[in-house]
Amino acid sequence: MKKIHNYINGSLKSLSNDELAVEDPSTGETIGKVVLSSEEDFKEAIESSKASQVEWSNTTPLKRSRILSNYKNLIEENLEDLAKIVSQEHGKTLDDAKGSITRGLEVVEFACGIPHLLKGEFSQNVGSNIDSWSIRQPLGVCAGITPFNFPAMVPMWMYPIAIACGNTFILKPSEKDPSCSIKLAQLFTEAGLPNGVFNVVQGDKKIVDLILRNSEISSVSFVGSTPVAKYIYEEAAKFGKRVQALGGAKNHLVVMPDANLNQAVDGIIGAGYGSAGERCMAISVAVAVGDIADELVEKIHVEAQNLKVAPWTDPESDMGPVISKEHKEKIEDYITLGVKEGAKLIEDGRNYKIQGYENGYFLGPTLFDNVTKEMTIYKEEIFGPVVSVIRAKDYDEALKLVNNHKYGNGTSIYTSDGEISRHFTTNSKIGMVGVNVPIPVPMAFHSFGGWKQSLFGDHSVHGMEGVHFYTKLKTITARWPKSIQSGPEFVLPTN
């Protein structure tokens, strides 16, 4: 059986004997064992990251950029293989896996521009014959802790920029689908990255705690569920680290009565059920405004019934299984609770069986109508193929729903009214907002991040936010001896 090790200093290696099963969610079979890092493993990773950091930070940004450029080419050449690794351990369709890797690749493309991105500011004559300029310097050793749902894309939101900025990086991927991170690290070595600049340590909470408390690590980037994000934020800050911790979501898509209904329905279907709802930008709430609700629910229902739920090996598959047996049961419990709390179950995805894949973790698309804001299925993140329709009498009520929810990751409005759309983008208390697009995921050269309980910290990921997160600002003020005036100055210069 395949073993998934750490990748430290350019080699696959584990000193520990602790293992955890890695499953194929389509079959429920164990397909590998991930070796959980021990303290000794972690020590090696830290030493290797530290040892390579100074030389790497002294490598010119242009040379770093050339290595990133080789890396970009290698990811493109290996796209199919990488996507298969993602699909097999995660369960998402092959096309969706390819799409997610491409979104990660775009961050590598962005990071190739690092010589330009690191340019500082310069002012001549801030005082008489005095110049001042700013530079951005790397933090040192950075760490990233990532979730199961995007085993390639989410790590790629972090390490290409951190490394481009001159840091070394330790990645702790999800223990549920750990193989892709190893392939990504090996390709980076092949691209010319010196050993130790990018290390991968496998494990669960134990290794996370070692990362959070280690004094050699300067920053922690985290993406995962909100309770863990909050813990990471507080704990890492306690140990003096710079931290960005992205959490869960409950994204609302508001459908106005003047919306193009078919487009809105397509948006809800793709963003609600794509990747079996296991996306932090999934649409889990459709807010039907005014008299559009009955028609909207009926159309979503028809389309949901037509979706093909199948393993990733079936090219016709629209959505695959969820990640694990426990997660499937948790989602089924939410559906049961939704019924108990009075929501109208229009389409029930429980007890979904696919011939030949009876032990897979499949659920059918599920649709609730008449959901209210008091219900648990509305308040909590389900992270599965469950769409809740909530009815609002007008736009103001819809906006209140969006703004009063504890999560603030993404939202979208479907309308043909420019004024409403402008009001929505200005006044929604959400980090990423779409107009007539279902998943407003910013491109690599913008930044990704939510508000409220969806992000703890001051920086979003990638784009210039990423460059700023992974660098320290230094401002230098200089004058040259011949211009120095005689005698000390006892008041602050105000030139």
How many angstroms separate the CA atoms of 332 and 336, rounded?
A: 6
Count the residues of the shown chain that bind ligand NAD, applying the rule CB under 6 A.
28
Q: Tokens 């290794």 map to which residue?
A: 207
| DSSP-derived secondary structure for 353-399 | --TT-TTS-----EEEES--TTSHHHHS---SSEEEEEEESSHHHHH
Among 166, 384, 450, 466, contact with ligand NAD (rule: CB under 6 A): 450
Among 154, 264, 293, 387, contact with ligand NAD (rule: CB under 6 A): 154
Span of 98-106, 109-117, 161-169, 200-208 interacting with ligand NAD by CB under 6 A: 200-208
235 near ligand NAD, judged by CB under 6 A = no
Measured CA to CA in angstroms, residue 142 lies from 72, 108, 452 at distances of 21, 17, 25
Q: Which is nearer to ligand NAD, 165 or 246 (CB)?
A: 246
Q: Which is nearer to ligand NAD, 366 or 454 (CB)?
A: 454
How many angstroms separate the CA atoms of 362 and 365, rounded?
A: 10
| DSSP-derived secondary structure for 236-266 | HHHTT-EEEEE----EEEEE-TTS-HHHHHH
Q: Which is nearer to ligand NAD, 98 or 452 (CB)?
A: 452
Minimum distance from CB of 295 to ligand NAD (Å)?
30
Q: Which is nearer to ligand NAD, 150 or 395 (CB)?
A: 150
381 near ligand NAD, judged by CB under 6 A = yes
| DSSP-derived secondary structure for 118-143 | T---EEEEEETTEEEEEEEEE-SEEE
Minimum distance from CB of 145 to ligand NAD (Å)?
5
Minimum distance from CB of 249 to ligand NAD (Å)?
5
Among 210, 280, 319, 398, contact with ligand NAD (rule: CB under 6 A): 280
Minimum distance from CB of 468 to ligand NAD (Å)?
18
Task: Please choose, from the candidates 250, 224, 188, the residue with its C-alpha nearest in 3D space to the C-alpha of residue 382.
Answer: 250
Minimum distance from CB of 305 to ligand NAD (Å)?
26
Name residue 477's beta-bridge partners: 132
**112, 165, 180, 280: which is the annotated catalytic residue?**
280
Among 10, 25, 147, 349, contact with ligand NAD (rule: CB under 6 A): 147
Span of 25-33, 172-180, 411-419, 433-441 interacting with ligand NAD by CB under 6 A: 172-180
Name the percent of the chain in helix, strand, coil, to the closest 5: 40, 25, 35
Among 357, 383, 395, 470, contact with ligand NAD (rule: CB under 6 A): 383
Q: Tokens 């890492």 map to which residue?
A: 236
398 near ligand NAD, judged by CB under 6 A = no
324 near ligand NAD, judged by CB under 6 A = no
162 near ligand NAD, judged by CB under 6 A = no
Q: Which is nearer to ligand NAD, 56 or 110 (CB)?
A: 110
177 near ligand NAD, judged by CB under 6 A = no
Among 48, 149, 199, 411, contact with ligand NAD (rule: CB under 6 A): 149
175 near ligand NAD, judged by CB under 6 A = yes
Strand (E) or helix (H) holding 492: none
How many angstroms separate the CA atoms of 326 and 72, rounded?
A: 36
To the query of whether residue 280 is one of the catalytic residues in this protein, the response is yes
Residue 371 CB coordination number (10 Å): 22
Lay out the site mask for ligand NAD across 403-422 (x = CB under 6 A, - = otherwise). ------x-------------
How many angstroms separate the CA atoms of 331 and 339, rounded?
A: 13
468 and 460 in contact (C-beta within 8 Å)? Answer: no
Task: Please choose, from the candidates 78, 103, 264, the residue with its C-alpha nearest in 3D space to the C-alpha of residue 186.
Answer: 78
307 and 276 in contact (C-beta within 8 Å)? Answer: no
Q: Which is nearer to ligand NAD, 364 or 449 (CB)?
A: 449
146 near ligand NAD, judged by CB under 6 A = yes
Nearest position to ligand NAD, beta carbon: 224
208 near ligand NAD, judged by CB under 6 A = yes
Task: Please choose, from the candidates 280, 205, 297, 272, the residue with its C-alpha nearest in 3D space to the C-alpha of residue 246.
Answer: 280
Helix (DSSP H) and strand (DSSP E) numbers for the chain: 16, 23
Span of 93-101, 134-142, 220-228, 435-443 interacting with ligand NAD by CB under 6 A: 220-228
153 near ligand NAD, judged by CB under 6 A = no
Minimum distance from CB of 270 to ligand NAD (Å)?
17
Q: In 164-298, at which residue ranges do the beta strands (DSSP E only) sit?
A: 168-172, 198-200, 217-223, 242-246, 251-255, 283-289
204 near ligand NAD, judged by CB under 6 A = yes
Considering only residues 238-267, where is the footprint of ligand NAD by CB under 6 A?
246-249
225 near ligand NAD, judged by CB under 6 A = yes
How many angstroms separate the CA atoms of 255 and 129, rounded?
A: 60
Q: Which residues bind ligand NAD (CB under 6 A)?
A: 145-150, 154, 172, 174-175, 204-205, 208, 223-225, 228, 231, 246-249, 280, 381, 383, 409, 450, 454
The residues that are catalytic are 280
